[in-house]
Structure 1
């Protein structure tokens, strides 16, 4: 009977060892599955001065021009009024359909590179083709001498979700 007792103890010990090995194996697998990205610990991507230029507190608080905030708020109220008019005229589903179209067309872009995406479908939906902006009679800001060309590798990383930040740096 002592033989059976020893074998029962050895079986229970063997089971415990196997369970422990299984736990260790799961831990190793979790460590291997950890994301292979470098996290920006201090301040995030915004403090990357080599890619995005020097930032200051003033740039984050105020907009580049005093009329810019008035322009954005007027545009937002105009869009909200248009949504209400469409909802009253065609029903509440029509503005939601337009929002879905806007989301789909805003995602459709050319891969990052030398030629920027024109977003023609998005402009046609939002009415941007009918607006006559400053870039239509002055020049495209991307043709300026102060424009820094984008880093194609960083642009693709942002498009694929591997990195954070804007696809290309703005004017510095």
Structure 2
């Protein structure tokens, strides 16, 4: 009991307060929700996936969508360490069918991978991955 009172907590109120690593926390993202079009797109995507899942249940039986979900979960775990070459997640893209879709990131690239972005701390990335630390791997710019 006495040893617990002598320790200094690294986190205050469950919020990670490392201003040098993550910058000042912005309140705007807490107040303003997602764009209405973004939420509409997400709901349409989930409705489409539910319809596809139900069609597969009707055609192939209840075990087929469960096997596909298990494959998705397994393939989503394989990632390279942060700071190294970005993970392509090719197997997951093949299983989900997103390999056939052409998005803005295919043409304009991911902003996090640009040469002008802040460098990624590989040590912190591994700490987050192993559960030793909390917080975003990519530093936020306010």
Q: TM-score range by the shorter chain?
A: 0.7 to 0.9
Q: Does the CA contact (< 8 Å) of 1:87 and 1:95 recur in 2?
A: yes
Q: Does the CA contact (< 8 Å) of 2:81 and 2:122 recur in 1?
A: no
1:87 aligns with 2:76: no
Long gaps (5+) in structure 1 = 1-26, 32-37
> Could you tell me which residue of structure 2 aligns to residue 154 of structure 1?
124
Task: Give distance in 1, aligned partners of 2:50 and 2:141.
Answer: 31
> Could you tell me which residue of structure 1 aligns to residue 71 of structure 2?
101
Q: How does 1:95-134 map to 2 (within 5 A)?
A: 95-134=65-104
Q: Compute the displacement of 1:55 (Å).
A: 2.8
Task: Give distance in 1, aligned partners of 2:127 and 2:46.
Answer: 31
Instruction: Give the root-mean-square deviation of aligned CA atoms.
Output: 2.4
More RCO (CA 8 Å, sep 6+): 2
Task: Give distance in 2, aligned partners of 1:170 and 1:83.
Answer: 37
1:42 to 13, 17, 27: 13
Whichever of the two has the greater Rg, that structure is: 1
2:37 to 62, 67, 73: 67
1:76 to 46, 58, 61: 46
Task: Give distance in 1, aligned partners of 2:104 and 2:53.
Answer: 26
Q: Does the CA contact (< 8 Å) of 1:123 and 1:129 recur in 2?
A: yes
Moved over 6 A (4+): none
Count of residues paired in the alignment: 136
Could you state the TM-score of these two structures normalised by the residue count of structure 1?
0.67
Compare the two structures and name the one with the higher helix fraction. Answer: 1
1:55 to 21, 25, 29: 25
Task: Give distance in 1, aligned partners of 2:116 and 2:33.
Answer: 19
Could you state the TM-score of these two structures normalised by the residue count of structure 2?
0.80
Long gaps (5+) in structure 2 = 4-8
Q: Compute the displacement of 1:148 (Å).
A: 2.3
